[in-house]
Amino acid sequence: VVYLVIFHLSFFMFVWSYWKTIFTSPASPSNEFCLSEADKEQYEKEERPESQQEILRRAAKDLPIYTTTASRAIRYCNRCQLIKPDRCHHCSACDICVLKMDHHCPWVNNCVGFSNYKFFLLFLMYSLLYCLFVAATVLQYFIKFWTNELPDTHAKFHVLFLFFVAAMFFISILSLFSYHCWLVGKNRSTIETFHAPTFRNGPDKNGFSLGCSKNLREVFGDEKKYWLIPIFTSLGDGCNFPTRLVIMDPEQLTVPSQNEPAKSSVANQSFPPRPLSESQNRLLASDCQWVESGPEEENVKTGAKKHIIVSLES
């Protein structure tokens, strides 16, 4: 009876997670990331990339964007005609921009991203348990097959086939599931593993990592009782994410007088300059420190930059 309960429960959760992964539509950027009609028309008329970037910078001034392209340009999708939020990428298969895109999975015929990444992880976990259960159940008959204790019937070939299929799927899914568990712990997507996101201080593959426990909460939510159930509990809106290092624009800093300590200028700054969602504020609320780096060697009047870095302890 116990075996039957475990079998039906694992199979039900496997099917439920698989269903949610397939039929959950990929989340796309909100309308605030779309250019206005005037900016869009002006952008299309401009032929110089510098002028186009100036239009994008003006439009992205108040958007929660901290990453750029490798050439320090605003990330813009010409296909969808919108400014890409952080961690957003265009999927050529779905022909849309997907928030926190991880990859396009042919096994589910859908993009795996912000809206269904938790479902995808649960699908891997429950399929792993299902294959393990099948292999463990058939193992005794598989041993009898090799010791010639199994009756000479056609069923022994079925047992042999079932055991090898379950074992092979278990090994392959285990490697994939382990890899994605590592990604969750590091708060990276598959795309970010190969191409580190570029912040204003340069590429940083750990730029979105807040520590293992907070990274886990960002995907599975605050309430642990819902972690193993395929319902959406991820934190945030998918358009903006708390970052490990956030660098403020030098134009938004006030230059302190020579006799005034540099730290006094920090206390009056509203930080970060772009809005964070309520869930992000919860992730950033605990154990955060304000750390100020020293001024650069160049004179402040010549346009030298001062950086304010938020250091988040794991």
Token pair in block for residue 191: 């795309």
Separation of alpha carbons 309 and 272, rounded Å = 10
- Answer for the pair 227, 218: CB distance below 8 angstroms, yes or no: no
Helix, strand or coil for residue 129?
helix
H-type alpha helices, 24-116: 37-45, 49-59
Catalytic site residue from 77, 80, 91, 105:
105
Residue linked to tokens 């200028």: 265
DSSP H or E segment with residue 281: helix 278-285
Separation of alpha carbons 287 and 277, rounded Å = 18
Q: Is 105 a catalytic residue?
A: yes
The HSE-up count of residue 296 (CA atoms within 13 Å, CB side) is 12
Helix, strand or coil for residue 13?
helix
Which residues contact residue 159 at a Cβ distance below 8 angstroms, ignoring those fewer than 6 apart? 138, 141, 142, 145, 150
**C-alpha dihedral (119, 123, 125, 126), degrees to nearest 10:** 120
Phi, psi at 112, each rounded to 5°: -100, 115
Separation of alpha carbons 118 and 32, rounded Å = 26
Q: Which residues are catalytic?
A: 105
